[in-house]
């Protein structure tokens, strides 16, 4: 019995020695390593600080009434295209009694708004299947009252649309951002402070078949597109187009023979006597004055209001109308969905 007691005593002595720094093993103690751990992610809760963070990133913000979704400015029109200055931000957010809205479409920001977690989870599963998991998990995201907001940046302005209960907030829209509080009392919560990831088209992150269902075409040319098999091959037509070099040219020409650029517009007006040049309302933005020009000779079109960095041919136009990549557009135009 006394021997056990002695052993205990020795252990205590060792511990004590370690604590006062005379033990050579002190380096293995966890305490000194603590400062090496990465700092845990801390969201910014101050609303003015958050507003400055957004404008510092080149995004436009507006004040929203607290626990509300309505803007608290006479008109938010100017902020669709310009960033408020710091004085204005201080006046809006200095008291901390507002929600904050981030303008979508500004610098081609697009936000996928999943109205419930089941849809979001299904989407994550889809992106994983597509090998896009990294892209989708490493972009700025916000937990909303019932679902999620996922932020991306496109190379062109995307009009706002809705597919299968996913609101895609684009040009001239806004989303509430943290630390805003939803009318129900639930706060918007940042999931990270990551940069907004660039994508080349919506079909980078959403199923093309889902997007193609939303077609802003006149009813007579709406889906379903004719189901055809232009290539006599056991291969998938796109596979052929993608891998056969010369064949891809012929596939593109087949599409261009089948669809005319004017098929995608109604109420066009001639702007040249020979009928080559037409003008119509742009389907890519909320257009009140016709600003989409059409060149029937070259089968190209473009928007004077800036929707089209480059003129669009019939494939590019179909892709843009549906948020598809050109590759997805070709596939759908060839075969239908």
CA-CA distance, 109 to 155, in Å (whole number)? Answer: 9
When asked if residue 279 is in the footprint of Zn ion (CB under 5 A), the reply is no
β-strands 148-153, 197-198 pairing: parallel
With CA atoms as reference, report the closest residue to 160 among 103, 205, 204, 81: 103
Q: How far is the CB of 202 from Zn ion (least distance, A)?
A: 17
Q: Which is nearer to Zn ion, 158 or 296 (CB)?
A: 158
Q: How far is the CB of 330 from Zn ion (least distance, A)?
A: 23
Determine which residue in the list 150, 282, 319, 330 makes contact with Zn ion, applying CB under 5 A. 282
Q: Which is nearer to Zn ion, 53 or 304 (CB)?
A: 304
With CA atoms as reference, report the closest residue to 151 among 57, 70, 34, 26: 57
Element spanning 133, H or E = helix 133-137
Interface size with Zn ion, residues (CB under 5 A): 6
Q: How far is the CB of 286 from Zn ion (least distance, A)?
A: 9
CA-CA distance, 286 to 135, in Å (whole number)? Answer: 30
When asked if residue 285 is in the footprint of Zn ion (CB under 5 A), the reply is yes
Q: Decide: 136 and 127 in contact? Cβ < 8 Å.
A: yes
Using CA of residue 253, residue 280, residue 210, residue 59, what is the dihedral sign?
positive
Q: Which is nearer to Zn ion, 169 or 285 (CB)?
A: 285
When asked if residue 321 is in the footprint of Zn ion (CB under 5 A), the reply is no
Piece of 138-146, 174-182, 261-269, 284-292 that binds Zn ion (CB under 5 A): 284-292
When asked if residue 303 is in the footprint of Zn ion (CB under 5 A), the reply is yes
When asked if residue 284 is in the footprint of Zn ion (CB under 5 A), the reply is yes
C-alpha count within 13 angstroms, C-beta hemisphere, residue 114: 18
Q: How far is the CB of 170 from Zn ion (least distance, A)?
A: 12
Q: Which is nearer to Zn ion, 61 or 282 (CB)?
A: 282
Q: How far is the CB of 306 from Zn ion (least distance, A)?
A: 7
Show contacts with Zn ion in window 210-269 (CB under 5 A): none
Piece of 75-83, 128-136, 255-263, 307-315 that binds Zn ion (CB under 5 A): 307-315
Q: How far is the CB of 265 from Zn ion (least distance, A)?
A: 12
Determine which residue in the list 135, 215, 244, 305 makes contact with Zn ion, applying CB under 5 A. 305
Buried residues in 94-115 as b, exposed as e (16+ CB within 10 A): eeeebbbbbbbbbebbbbbbbb
With CA atoms as reference, report the closest residue to 179 among 215, 134, 144: 144
Contacts of 183 (CB under 8 A, 6+ apart): 67, 68, 69
Binding site for Zn ion (CB under 5 A): 282, 284-285, 303, 305, 307
């Amino acid at each position: 019995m006394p021997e056990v007691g002695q052993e205990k005593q020795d252990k205590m002595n060792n511990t004590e020695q370690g604590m006062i720094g005379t033990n050579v093993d002190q380096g293995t103690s966890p305490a000194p390593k603590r400062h090496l751990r990465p700092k845990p992610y801390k969201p910014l809760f101050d609303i003015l600080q958050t507003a400055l963070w957004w404008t510092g990133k080149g995004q436009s913000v507006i004040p929203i009434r607290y626990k509300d979704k309505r803007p608290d400015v006479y008109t938010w029109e100017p902020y669709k295209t310009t960033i408020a200055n710091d004085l204005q931000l201080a006046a809006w957010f200095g008291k901390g009694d507002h929600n904050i809205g981030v303008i979508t479409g500004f610098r081609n920001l697009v936000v996928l708004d999943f109205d419930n977690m089941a849809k979001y989870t299904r989407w994550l599963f889809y992106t994983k299947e597509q090998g896009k998991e990294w892209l989708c998990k490493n972009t700025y995201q916000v937990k909303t009252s019932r679902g999620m907001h996922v932020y991306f940046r496109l190379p062109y302005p995307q009009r706002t649309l809705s597919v299968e209960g996913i609101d895609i907030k684009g040009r001239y829209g806004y989303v509430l951002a943290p630390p805003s509080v939803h009318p129900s009392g639930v706060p918007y919560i940042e999931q990270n402070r990551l940069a907004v990831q660039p994508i080349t088209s919506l079909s980078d992150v959403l199923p093309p078949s889902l997007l193609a269902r939303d077609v802003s075409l006149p009813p007579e040319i709406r889906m379903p597109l004719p189901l055809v098999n232009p290539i006599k091959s056991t291969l998938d037509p796109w596979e052929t187009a993608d891998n056969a070099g010369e064949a891809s040219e012929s596939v593109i020409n087949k599409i261009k023979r089948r669809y005319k650029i004017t098929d995608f517009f109604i109420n066009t007006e001639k702007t040249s006597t020979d009928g080559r040049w037409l003008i119509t309302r742009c389907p890519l933005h909320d257009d009140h004055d016709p600003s989409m020009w059409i060149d029937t000779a070259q089968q190209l079109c473009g928007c004077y209001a800036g929707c089209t960095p480059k003129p669009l041919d019939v494939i590019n136009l179909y892709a843009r109308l549906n948020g598809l990549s050109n590759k997805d557009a070709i596939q759908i135009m060839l075969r239908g969905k």
